[in-house]
Chains A and B, each alone.
Chain A
Amino acid sequence: MNVQERIAKLEALLARVSTRAGEPRNGHAASPRVDVVVAAAPVAQPVPARIEPPRVTVATPNVAVLPTSLPVVHAAPEEPEEIELAATDLLSSPPPPVAAEAAPAMAEVSAASDEPLESRERLVAAPAVEELTDVQSLPPVAEREEEPPPSDPTVARAPTSMRVSEGPALELAPDDAPEVEVSTSDLDDGGVVDVDMEADEPPASSRRPIALEPPLEELAFGDAAPPPAAHTPPPESGRQVASSAYPEAVQPSEALAESPEAPTAAEVSAASPGLDFDGESTGVRAKADAEAAPAASPTAPPPAFVAEAQVAARTSPPPAPGTVPPPAARTAPPPAPVPVIALAPEVVQPSLDAGASVAAFVGKAPEFQPSSFGDLLDATLAL
């Protein structure tokens, strides 16, 4: 198969993907398994990972994002179709420039993809589908507040975005296609990736615990609404930053989308590649979240949240020297200067006369004067 044939075939696949991307997504729920055939040729950056097994089941939630609008990805939820390419072809054939022209999608390689993941445990939490599907078309904050946040971060929602992570992360943001995240190692493994569309049934190799019991809030409070989380400031040490003044329903990515200075999705992915911390349940927030809080201030958050942030800034202890103050403290108005009062003691010395006769002797000390040797002898014998 030469290059022209492959390009033609890939273009056909692209057209098919585009048509299927426009279709309603209900059909995905019916099919529990989607086989995604990935051609490794148009990858934007050569991947150093080796290519051995042709099929890899997508289970681990480490994130590498690839758009489905690229000609290299073909999603066939209803009719699983596999197009297998030889590994030698994948390695030997250079990336055709035609693929980029056919689908001018945003293809950026995460700058922090080479950095090691800081916490493997954090990868357990599967991100919400709507978070990174399309950054530019994120709904406003009010709409997001209507949706109840996931009570258990370990329980994944319906994953329209499939994530796989083993090697360096790649993020390709499509315009209007569901997001499919595939690691480059999977691409190297032959381009055939099995994506499990059922979030309730993670594969056996997944580290996500299966929610066999109802959430803790439900056990504790029943059907009643759980009490609101206390807005206490997090501790100063560690990677944690000060509590944000945003409501629970507002996700950091949404705040970024609202802000006029919001970074792009690629920048957010570069700051925390493949990591999605649930700040409300863990108290850990990414650095981008902390920086996004003051950036989102022009959106004028509700007064209640502003008051909470100010209270948190006042009650939190002063930062240690050399540390960056939390965003809430920086946004709070500076305290009024305390007037300095100079205190000096008023000394009063007594006036004493050195020659004053302060002692008066009355009487006479008893003195033993024996008149004879016998008196002294009697006195000493009486001792």
Chain B
Amino acid sequence: MNDTAEKVRFDLASGTVRATGGERLVLMPCSALEELGKSAGVDVACALGHAMGAAFGKAVADRLGSSDAVQASSLETVVTELGSELAVAGWGAVGLERWGRAMVMVVDHSPFTEQRFVAAILQGALGAATGKDVQCWPLGGGASSGSTESVRVLVSGERGIGRAREWLAQGVSWGDVLVRLQANDGGQA
């Protein structure tokens, strides 16, 4: 069972907000982040999101003990710990879909319309939790999909993400991209 008790501690006397590990938090409106992303650019926003996700992953690894413990854990355990971290921070509900050998993270109710920003958060979280070089790329068609209800993010290596981006750019649907990834993964497993 995931223990979400007192993950965030608000000290009203000092005016501070701290996480379970003692890390200080700041509550800020989403519009401010969107304005930052618009003014600084997508790459800067993605770097911000990657740093935020790494904090979530580190918290998961700390909770489970280490990166190896995270890898050794079951899918449900890892998804529960990671989902609880993002839900407390207000980044939406995180789920996991397994399409054959492909791992697809699903984020519902994301506060941002920029899917690459959400993908950057997940990339940082998984990398920090497992200690591996993980690449994430949204399957919903890029930054201008406009859907904030559900964002699917492909989790794979650099080679797999590159091929998926190429096919998506050619107009191939994300389902066909996942199928093609299954058919062209021989010898890499």
Binding site for B on A (CB under 8 A): 368, 370-374, 376-383
Contact = CB atoms under 8 A, between A and B. Distances in A.
Contact of B157 (A371, A372, A381): A381
Interface of B: 70-75, 77-79, 98, 100-103, 126, 130, 132, 134, 155-157, 159-160, 181-182, 185, 188-189
Nearest 8 pairs of A and B residues by beta carbon = A374-B71, A383-B160, A380-B103, A373-B78, A379-B101, A381-B157, A382-B188, A382-B189
Contacts of A382: 101, 157, 160, 185, 188-189
Contacts of A373: 70-75, 77-79, 130
B132 A377 contact: yes
A194 B102 CA distance: 117
B120 to A, nearest CB: 18
Given A368-B100, A376-B98, A383 B185 contact: yes
A261 to B, nearest CB: 89
B157 A383 contact: yes
Contacts, number: 71
Contacts of A376: 75, 98, 101, 103
Given A368-B100, A368-B101, A380 B155 contact: yes
Nearest to A372: B72
B130 A383 contact: no
A377 B160 contact: no
Contact of A372 (B73, B159, B182, B185): B73
Nearest to B71: A374
10 contacts: A370-B98, A372-B72, A372-B74, A373-B71, A373-B77, A374-B70, A376-B103, A377-B132, A379-B102, A381-B134
B89 to A, nearest CB: 21
B44 to A, nearest CB: 27
B75 A379 contact: no
Given A372-B71, A372-B74, A382-B189, A377 B101 contact: no
